[in-house]
Structure 1
Amino acid sequence: MAKVVIPKKSCAVNPLKMSQPIGAALAFMGLRGSMPLLHGSQGCTSFGLVLFVRHFKEAIPLQTTAMSEVATVLGGYENVEQAVLNIIKRTKPEIIGIASTGVTETKGDDVNGYIQLIRQNHPELKDFPLVYVSTPDFKDAFQDGWEKAVTRLVEELVEPPANAARRDLTRVNVLPGAHLTPGDIEELRNIIEDFGLEPTFLPDLGGSLDGHIPDDFTPTTIGGVGVDEVATMGDAGWTIAVGAHMRAAAEALQKKTGIPYRLFERLCGLEPNDELIGFLTEISGRPAPAKYRRQRGQLVDAMLDGHFHIGGRKLAIGAEPDLLYDVASFLHEMGAHIEAAVTTTQSPVLEKLPAEEVLIGDLEDLETQAREKGCDLLMTHSHGRQAADRLKIPFHRLGIPMFDRLGAGHKLSVGYRGTRDLIFQVANLLIADREEHHEVTPDKWRNPWGAGPAEGAEEEAGAAIATSLAS
């Protein structure tokens, strides 16, 4: 059981943490025709917009209420009203998700009250979906904002079932955590559909930020789950929640509709995916398709191959709590030692982490611990690349933002295939580092008895082996 430590630093150095409003905005982007709206200054939205554009390499729909100093002091009703009216007039969204920021939370704007006034003053918006979530960025972190946004979407949009006794048992609600990529969501969709089930993801980044090009330009999200689909989630037979921070949304859905849920805190690793496949077999009444038996065998073989290179290595990992727990737990099962673990916010899963302690801190803390513990590999988002250079150890990019590599939205770590791919990525980094430092390359072979590479080294080593065997 890990001990959770909060360093008493006066400031963050090279922050690991991202804010709640950004997490909520990303959750809203998982709905079709959505326009996330940050209630705050223009700078709050600009920084988030740049972060998402660099990570996904896509056009990102994100708007602001553009609060000035005067508006912040006097109250932001007019800014919210004007922003909503302009967005509806110009972009014609299906839903607007509003997330607060630090400046408006400090002032204490009553945004729920603003929405009621907007509906009264503009009767045509009486039934238009306006979903507000309180996400001050001076507390909590990225996955907390995601969690609160999804919970509010459930509370606002899902309709209670007309007849609970007539639920469609082939329908399954899926509440994916903030740590899942669009590629992860697509993998989960394929797995669930292969059991003859019909999944509804909330949010569905796999449909909106998977990098596809639409037929026509739209200023809102170009895919994702529709508001009408969310409304009927109460007719499903089961809910699957992925990540401990999705428990609140699953409980809100159960409270409103009576649908039972199953929470999977992890989906990276052999045992967690065995549990997922077993659960899908149970609720579908179908045996696991043969391809998943084969994929499981491939994962077991990859674990066998990879443990020679991962086992015994010291790792430093910095990520949001659920992503940290998911990846660190699996690599620990592969024989690695989690020597340095840093995260962004409190979570019940942190105590389960296979490490002596976990810090709620920044990338400076991660770098310091990695140096002190002599770690062999650094894992965090792209802002950790300079630390890895200074430490002279390999760097595996993990989480958001990942702006210096392509394909961030398609990285896969769930399911048998995703876990297998993670093994290969990590093991290959460690192998390449070993080759670089020991000069072992395909063109330069090193004598296992300690002599350096030389002409005829292979022949000499072969003769030595033969002599050894003969004696």
Structure 2
Amino acid sequence: MAHVTESKKACAVNPLKMSQPLGAAYAFMGLASCMPVMHGSQGCTSFGLVLLVRHFKEAIPLQTTAMNEATTIVGGYDNVEKALLNIRQRAKPALIAICSTGLTETKGDDVDGYIALARQKHPELADTAIVYVSTPDYAGAFQDGWAQAVKTLVSRLPKPQATKAADRVNVLPGSHLTPGDIEELRELIEAFGLRPVFAPDVSGSLDGHIPDQWLGTTLGGTALAELEELGGAAHTLAIGEQMRPAAEALQARCGVPYTLFDRLTGLTATDAFIAKLAELSGWAVPARIRRQRSQLVDAMLDGHFHFGNAKIALAAEPDLLWSAGSFLAEMGAELAVAVTTTRSPLLERLPTDEVLIGDLEDFERLAQAAGCDVLMTHSHGRQAAERLGKPLVRLGIPTFDRIGNAHRCHVGYRGTRNFVYEVGNVLIEQIPHHGPQDWPLPQAALAAARARTATLAAASA
């Protein structure tokens, strides 16, 4: 069990953490015909906009209520009202999604009351759905904002339905999943004859496609009608511990049971997911998925020589830290340094001695003291890697000095295989002497993999 501590420094140096409003705005970008809005100053929104543009290399729809000194003191109703009317008139979204910032949270703006008053004064807003979520940026972190946004959406928009479609499943993906990850999960689910609805679905809006015509809102994602019909699904699949509150809220509202998967990177983790899909559908595991599993097992055998005893320093949001860190340990690497941004029940279960809630200065200091071979974090860790003379495997948001971030995939059998190759090749360059003669074959792990293969084969027969 890992010991979780929190940095007591007076301020963050080279911050690892990103704010709740940014996480919530990112979640709203996975909704079709949506206009995300930050209720705060222009600077708050501009920072988030630039960060997401640099990561995805795409146009990002994000608006602001443009609070200034005077409106911050007297209250922001006028700004919210003007924002709602202007956005409806110019962009014509199906949904306007507002998240708060530290500025307006400190003032204590009653945004739900503002929205109700604006609807009363302006009947023309009746054709536009409006959702507000409280996300103060002085508390929590990026994945907390995402989680709070999704919980709010599923608590307000779905309509309870008496009839459940046996082949329909809801999928609540965590913020650590890329658009490429979601595409991979969609293929796996559809391979069992199931119809998934992802909420939110950034693979539809931030996958790098070019639309036929310019739109002032999000380019795709989960439609408002799909959100309203989440209550008609037979089951909900929640991906990441951060999605547990949202899954519970949807179950309470619409009576849809859920299964939570804390990670989908790794052999055992993906096996559990595939077994659940087979159970929900009643189908045998398709041959092509069994072959993907076999390819992953072979990749793990190829890569374990290079992972064995390698020291890894990893800094990420809790769910991403858990997903990557757990699999690295399964491959035989040592998770020597683990730094994260916020509290999570998963942290104590990490395969390491200590988890620090801190910043990238802490990350660099600990990585140097531990003599780590490889650093893994987002692009803001590149200076630390340069100073330590160690390679950096970029993971998470923002990754602004690489292209193709939307299409990276580290989930499922194929995504895990990609992760093995990506990290393994870096380790080969960093520790070239690793090879078959250095590390014994992990017979226990191999035997367990063969046993699981036999079980899946029997179930598919």
TM range (shorter): over 0.9
- Specify which of 323, 327, 330 is matched with residue 333 of structure 1: 330
Greater radius of gyration (CA): 1
Cα distance per residue 1:84-106 (max 9 Å; x no partner): 10001001111011000001000
2:221 alignment partner, SS class: coil
- For 2:145 and 2:66, the matched residues in 1 are separated by 20
**Alpha-carbon offset, residue 127 of structure 1:** 5.2
Amino acid at match of 1:263: L
- 1:308 aligned to 2:305? yes
Native 8 Å contact 2:292 2:414 kept in 1: yes
2:16 alignment partner, SS class: coil
**Alpha-carbon offset, residue 123 of structure 1:** 1.6
Amino acid at match of 2:320: L
- 1:12 aligned to 2:9? no
- For 2:226 and 2:382, the matched residues in 1 are separated by 41
**Alpha-carbon offset, residue 434 of structure 1:** 3.4
Structure 1: which 5+ residue stretches go unaligned? 441-447, 449-471
- For 1:127 and 1:87, the matched residues in 2 are separated by 13
- For 1:45 and 1:228, the matched residues in 2 are separated by 28
- For 1:434 and 1:358, the matched residues in 2 are separated by 25
Native 8 Å contact 1:380 1:398 kept in 2: yes
Cα distance per residue 1:358-377 (max 9 Å; x no partner): 00000000000000000000
Native 8 Å contact 1:170 1:196 kept in 2: yes
Could you tell me which residue of structure 1 aligns to residue 459 of structure 2? Answer: none
Native 8 Å contact 1:20 1:143 kept in 2: yes
Cα distance per residue 1:423-450 (max 9 Å; x no partner): 0000101112235xx8x9xxxxxxx9xx
**Alpha-carbon offset, residue 416 of structure 1:** 0.2
- Equivalent pairs, count: 435
Could you tell me which residue of structure 2 aligns to residue 50 of structure 1? Answer: 50
Question: In terms of mean alpha carbon deviation, does 426-435 or 188-197 score higher?
Answer: 426-435
- For 2:118 and 2:232, the matched residues in 1 are separated by 31
- For 1:47 and 1:168, the matched residues in 2 are separated by 42
Could you tell me which residue of structure 1 aligns to residue 386 of structure 2? Answer: 389
- For 2:293 and 2:387, the matched residues in 1 are separated by 38
2:203 alignment partner, SS class: helix
**Alpha-carbon offset, residue 7 of structure 1:** 1.6
- For 2:261 and 2:295, the matched residues in 1 are separated by 22
Percent of paired sites with the same residue:
63
Could you tell me which residue of structure 1 aligns to residue 252 of structure 2? Answer: 255
Could you tell me which residue of structure 2 aligns to residue 148 of structure 1? Answer: 148
Cα distance per residue 1:342-396 (max 9 Å; x no partner): 0000000101111101000000000000000000000000000110111111110
Could you tell me which residue of structure 1 aligns to residue 413 of structure 2? Answer: 416
Question: Which TM-score applies when normalising by structure 1?
Answer: 0.91
- 1:97 aligned to 2:97? yes
- Specify which of 276, 281, 290 is matched with residue 279 of structure 1: 276
- For 2:166 and 2:247, the matched residues in 1 are separated by 17
Amino acid at match of 1:174: V
Q: Following superposition, which runs of at least 4 residues in structure 1 exceed 3 angstroms of deviation?
A: none
- Specify which of 252, 261, 265 is matched with residue 268 of structure 1: 265
- For 1:396 and 1:24, the matched residues in 2 are separated by 26
Cα distance per residue 1:298-338 (max 9 Å; x no partner): 10011111110011000000000000000000000000111
Could you tell me which residue of structure 2 aligns to residue 403 of structure 1? Answer: 400
- For 2:236 and 2:98, the matched residues in 1 are separated by 26
Cα distance per residue 1:259-281 (max 9 Å; x no partner): 10000001000001000110000
- Specify which of 342, 346, 349 is matched with residue 349 of structure 1: 346
**Alpha-carbon offset, residue 151 of structure 1:** 0.5
Native 8 Å contact 1:316 1:378 kept in 2: yes
- For 2:380 and 2:428, the matched residues in 1 are separated by 23
Structure 2: which 5+ residue stretches go unaligned? 439-461
1:348 alignment partner, SS class: coil
Superposition RMSD in Å: 1.1
**Alpha-carbon offset, residue 118 of structure 1:** 0.7
- For 1:141 and 1:129, the matched residues in 2 are separated by 26
Could you tell me which residue of structure 2 aligns to residue 181 of structure 1? Answer: 178
**Alpha-carbon offset, residue 128 of structure 1:** 2.3
Native 8 Å contact 1:342 1:360 kept in 2: yes
- 1:238 aligned to 2:251? no
Could you tell me which residue of structure 2 aligns to residue 462 of structure 1? Answer: none
- For 1:285 and 1:196, the matched residues in 2 are separated by 9
- 1:169 aligned to 2:166? yes
- For 2:79 and 2:312, the matched residues in 1 are separated by 47
Native 8 Å contact 2:310 2:334 kept in 1: yes
Could you tell me which residue of structure 2 aligns to residue 190 of structure 1? Answer: 187
- For 1:335 and 1:373, the matched residues in 2 are separated by 17
- Specify which of 182, 206, 211 is matched with residue 208 of structure 2: 211
Cα distance per residue 1:173-195 (max 9 Å; x no partner): 00000000000000000100010
Could you tell me which residue of structure 2 aligns to residue 375 of structure 1? Answer: 372
- For 2:382 and 2:318, the matched residues in 1 are separated by 20
Native 8 Å contact 2:93 2:128 kept in 1: no
- For 1:219 and 1:55, the matched residues in 2 are separated by 20
Could you tell me which residue of structure 2 aligns to residue 320 of structure 1? Answer: 317
Cα distance per residue 1:282-303 (max 9 Å; x no partner): 0100001101110101100111
Could you tell me which residue of structure 1 aligns to residue 71 of structure 2? Answer: 71
Native 8 Å contact 1:120 1:126 kept in 2: no
- For 2:46 and 2:326, the matched residues in 1 are separated by 35
Cα distance per residue 1:121-148 (max 9 Å; x no partner): 0122235211000000011000000000
1:12 alignment partner, SS class: coil
1:267 alignment partner, SS class: coil
1:215 alignment partner, SS class: coil
- For 2:389 and 2:427, the matched residues in 1 are separated by 12
- 1:83 aligned to 2:83? yes
2:431 alignment partner, SS class: helix
Native 8 Å contact 1:208 1:224 kept in 2: yes
Judged with a 3 Å threshold, the aligned counterparts in structure 2 of structure 1 residues 155 and 127 are, in CA distance, closer, same or farther, namely farther
